[in-house]
């Protein structure tokens, strides 16, 4: 005895729906992998001080992120898949880091990270991406210290501390924030090491200045 034809139609419909979701998911996975790779390239160019190339890659990444999100709109269940959040997080990290360190951004008074709305990403992706961008600043701070540019190093450390102080106010369960607490813990450790490095460099710089003054005074006498 066969089940009524209504069930058969339901099964056929569900198979069609799941097949469409599968195809959409596969396409989104490719888009997200490409987005992660492009964002990583952008960050590499930032650390090389190749800012024009970095801005070009960021523009490309933003387009890719919009396309990935749009492709999933037909199946809202897939919008909250982890791969999309991870990819968007990398985009936010690249955008924030580039904006904070590019001298042109500071000259134009646009040294704040692009907003959630500007990047068109999820809130969880944005928060974690900002946190990771702040951690990534440590590498740039160390480069500035090696150059003896303590002013920019101190500015970036202050930016890192500000981000941390704001992020820890989001006291919600990890299931809701995508592990933001872990991001904050990692950032706190990075800030402590960076502050120690900067303090040591500042002390050494002041000591060298005093030695130069003493040497100059001795020559005059």
Report pLDDT digits (tens) over 136-168.
999 999 999 999 899 999 999 999 999 999 999
Q: Which residues contact 168 (CB under 8 A, 6 or more apart)?
A: 184
- Map out the domains of the chain with their CATH numbers: 1-103 (1.20.58.190), 122-221 (1.20.58.2140)
pLDDT attached to residue 188 = 97
Q: Give buried/exposed letters for 144-160 (b at 16+ CB in 10 A, else e).
A: bbeeeebebbbbbbebb
**CA–CA dist 188, 160 (Å, integer):** 9
Per residue of the chain (221 residues), give pLDDT as tens: 555 668 888 888 889 888 888 888 888 889 999 999 999 999 999 999 999 999 999 999 999 999 988 887 777 777 777 888 999 999 999 999 999 999 887 555 566 788 999 999 999 999 999 999 999 999 999 999 999 899 999 999 999 999 999 999 999 999 899 999 999 999 999 999 999 999 998 887 767 766 776 676 665 55
CA 112 → CA 78, 99, 161, 163, 201, distances in Å? 31, 7, 14, 11, 27
Q: Distance between CA 66 and CA 34 in Å, rounded? A: 13
Query: Residue 204 and residue 151: Cα distance in Å, rounded?
Result: 15
């Amino acid at each position: 005895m066969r089940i009524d034809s209504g069930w058969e139609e339901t099964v056929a419909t569900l198979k069609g729906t799941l097949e469409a979701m599968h195809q959409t998911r596969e396409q989104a996975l490719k888009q997200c992998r490409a987005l992660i790779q492009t964002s990583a390239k952008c960050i590499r160019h930032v650390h090389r001080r190749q800012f024009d190339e970095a801005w070009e890659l960021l523009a490309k990444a933003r387009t890719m992120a919009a396309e990935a999100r749009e492709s999933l709109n037909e199946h809202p269940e897939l919008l909250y898949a982890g791969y999309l959040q991870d990819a968007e997080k990398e985009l936010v990290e690249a955008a924030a880091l580039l904006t904070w360190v590019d001298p042109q951004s500071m000259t134009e008074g646009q040294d704040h990270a692009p907003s959630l709305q500007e990047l068109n990403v999820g809130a969880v992706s944005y928060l974690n991406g900002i946190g990771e961008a702040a951690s990534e600043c440590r590498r740039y701070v160390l480069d500035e210290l090696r150059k003896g540019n303590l002013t920019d190093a101190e500015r970036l450390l202050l930016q890192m501390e500000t981000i941390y102080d704001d992020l820890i106010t989001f006291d919600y369960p990890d299931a809701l924030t995508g592990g933001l607490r872990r991001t904050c813990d990692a950032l706190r450790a990075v800030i402590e090491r960076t502050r120690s490095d900067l303090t040591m460099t500042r002390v050494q710089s002041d000591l060298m200045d005093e030695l130069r003054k003493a040497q100059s005074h001795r020559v005059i006498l």
